[in-house]
């Protein structure tokens, strides 16, 4: 376990639902939020071993944690996943829409749009349904709420192979802004994180190959990959009072990767 650098005292006892917490960034967010004293509802899809590991890690922080399961390709199931999460601790203070699929598919290899549709279901439609269910439940109980969407720099700058993924993440950034506008008067904040390259179990082998690492890291002014702890700390910030005036924002965390653009290198 890594110690969180900042402590947001107002997060203690906050009930947060994190989707896709069985590996990678979601597991890192869970670990950091547990260190901040949040009670957690952790979602997974298939990786049971992964979610058990996350559960064990977060429980070591002395918080309460529960698990829910669901495949977001089946949008008919999303409301019931949300209802289970809401009932675990008799309500929720925050929702982190992190679950997602990183689809690499050339448009001409997906002429019927199957990969495109599946990607939009998991990365955009499920967050829409979860956030809307959360806002409705908060409104009924006249409670404030806080939503963090895990988007991607592909929502802002992208490349070949990513039509489905980039469309889903640009859509998620737009959804963040619209829902922030619609729900501001309810006391519900909605913000996005837009990460760059964060090595996770799924990508360790490729991203830590020396040639590949050099190529990526040299393009990042900050000189390193992101970590799941970077993502966890940014999530804690967005869920805390420290960011009270932020809503409808897309917070880019990419070590400066997309700020640089494609200008020639100068000495
Ligand atoms: N890592 C990066 O560099 C990076 C950069 C930008 C954005 N992101 C975003 O960060 C989020 C997490 O990705 P990650 O990199 O941490 O990858 P990851 O380790 O593969 O995590 C993906 C999570 O999403 C869940 N998931 C996948 N398909 C699902 C489905 N059909 N229904 C419900 N849940 C599903 C997975 O659950 P199971 O494993 O249990 O099936 C897993 O918990 C994604 O939204 C991704 O787009 C990542």
- Cβ(195) – ligand 1 distance below 6 Å: yes
Q: Known catalytic residue: 128?
A: no
CA of 26 to the centre of ligand 1 (A): 7
Place of tokens 């992190």: 98
Q: Alpha-carbon distance 30 to 21, whole Å? A: 7
For the CA atoms of 58, 60, 65, 67, the dihedral, rounded to the nearest 10 degrees, stands at 60
CA of 84 to the centre of ligand 1 (A): 21
Contact 206, 264 (CB under 8 A): no
> What residues does each domain of the chain span?
10-250
Distance of CA 63 to the CA centre of its chain: 21
Query: Quick check: 267 pLDDT over 90?
Result: no
Mean pLDDT rounded to a whole number for the chain: 97
Q: Alpha-carbon distance 56 to 59, whole Å? A: 5
CA neighbor of 89 nearest in space, from 186, 14, 149, 21? 14
The pLDDT tens digits of the residues spanning 27-86 come to: 999 999 999 999 999 999 999 999 999 999 999 999 999 999 999 999 999 999 999 999
The pLDDT tens digits of the residues spanning 122-141 come to: 999 999 999 999 999 999 99
Look up the CATH number of domain 10-250.
Answer: 3.40.50.720
Helical (H) or strand (E) element with 86: helix 78-88
């Amino acid at each position: 376990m890594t110690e969180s650098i900042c402590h947001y005292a107002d997060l203690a006892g906050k009930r947060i639902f994190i989707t896709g917490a069985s590996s990678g960034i979601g597991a890192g967010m869970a670990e950091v939020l547990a260190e901040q004293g949040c009670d957690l509802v952790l979602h997974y899809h298939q990786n049971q071993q992964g979610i058990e590991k996350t559960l064990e890690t977060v429980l070591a922080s002395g918080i309460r944690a529960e698990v829910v399961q669901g495949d977001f390709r089946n949008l008919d199931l999303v409301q019931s996943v949300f209802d289970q999460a809401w009932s675990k601790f008799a309500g929720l203070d925050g929702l982190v829409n992190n679950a997602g699929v990183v689809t690499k598919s050339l448009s001409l290899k997906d002429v019927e749009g199957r990969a495109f549709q599946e990607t939009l279901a998991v990365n955009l439609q499920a967050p829409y349904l979860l956030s809307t269910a959360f806002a409705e439940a908060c409104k009924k109980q006249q409670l404030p709420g806080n939503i963090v969407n895990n988007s991607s720099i592909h929502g802002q700058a992208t490349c070949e192979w990513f039509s489905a993924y980039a469309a889903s993440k640009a859509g998620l950034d737009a959804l963040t802004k619209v829902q922030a506008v619609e729900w501001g008067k309810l006391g519900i904040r909605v913000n996005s994180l837009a990460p760059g390259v964060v090595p996770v179990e799924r990508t360790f082998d490729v991203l830590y190959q020396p040639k590949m690492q050099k190529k990526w890291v040299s393009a990042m002014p900050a000189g390193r990959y992101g970590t799941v702890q970077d993502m966890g700390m940014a999530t804690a910030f967005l869920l805390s009072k420290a960011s009270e005036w932020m809503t409808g924002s897309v917070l880019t965390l990419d070590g400066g990767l997309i700020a640089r653009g494609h200008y020639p290198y100068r000495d």
